[in-house]
Structure 1
């Protein structure tokens, strides 16, 4: 957790774009081996820049300003639950419904499971405005005393 156990994940970033109610922050995502002493000789070490849109809540930021983007651990857990865990249980559940309840064959049950999965993600997409308020990241200016 970046050295501090505060119940949240923090990343330093640079403001790349400023919009009226949000900023786009560039965060450097490092691979697990990016801190390795042999990374210059290895072809697997990589760094990627990620752009993240974050609501500003009325605070003014400048392009190039150093900021901290913070997300509570509970936000990450909810995101993992919605994106990975629930769909993982949805597929075998719908396969069982197709075969045991509806008495369909394997192919029809598999198709039912895939249709249910697509519908699940369409519902998540439709709920994006609500989820983006609930599962929000926060941004604040980087202070000289902040070390992560």
Structure 2
């Protein structure tokens, strides 16, 4: 159970075998009893798309548990933050050595390289959806 992330949510929409579930994502502070006195508490409503083989088991308004693996979260952090960080740093040093230390040009080109990186991620979003899939269970 320690290798899973579980959120409670409500089924908002069903289209074929795709179920859209709204979950409330909260920080640890948002669940604190002193959150009214603190400005750092935060919560957001997010919609998660889950593909199931048979959507007739679920109805709009049902309360469900959305379950994902911890490794999915780590992989998402890798693709969204760690790889682009290394692209940025490595390209910055390479371009600085090629341009004899032109910092403005090096920084601009390094930041510009993130555009095709995120564009490639966006183009491959359907392929990545297969790796980042959630399961759903009804709450009884």
Q: What TM-score, normalized to structure 1?
A: 0.83
Of 95, 98, 118, the residue aligned with 2:95 is 98
After the TM superposition, list the runs of 4 or more consecutive aligned residues in structure 1 that deviate by more than 6 angstroms. Answer: none
Matched with 1:15 is: 11
Matched with 1:26 is: 22
Decide which structure has greater helix share: 2
Check the 8 A contact 2:66/2:135 in 1, yes or no. yes
Matched with 1:66 is: 63
Check the 8 A contact 1:55/1:139 in 2, yes or no. no
User: How many residues align structurally?
Assistant: 139
Of 80, 103, 109, the residue aligned with 2:77 is 80
Matched with 2:135 is: 138
Check the 8 A contact 1:14/1:67 in 2, yes or no. yes
Q: Residue 38 in 1 paired to residue 34 in 2?
A: yes
Bigger mean CA offset, 44-53 vs 133-142: 44-53
Q: What TM-score, normalized to structure 2?
A: 0.88
Shift of 1:30: 2.1
Root-mean-square deviation (Å): 1.8
Of 27, 35, 47, the residue aligned with 2:43 is 47
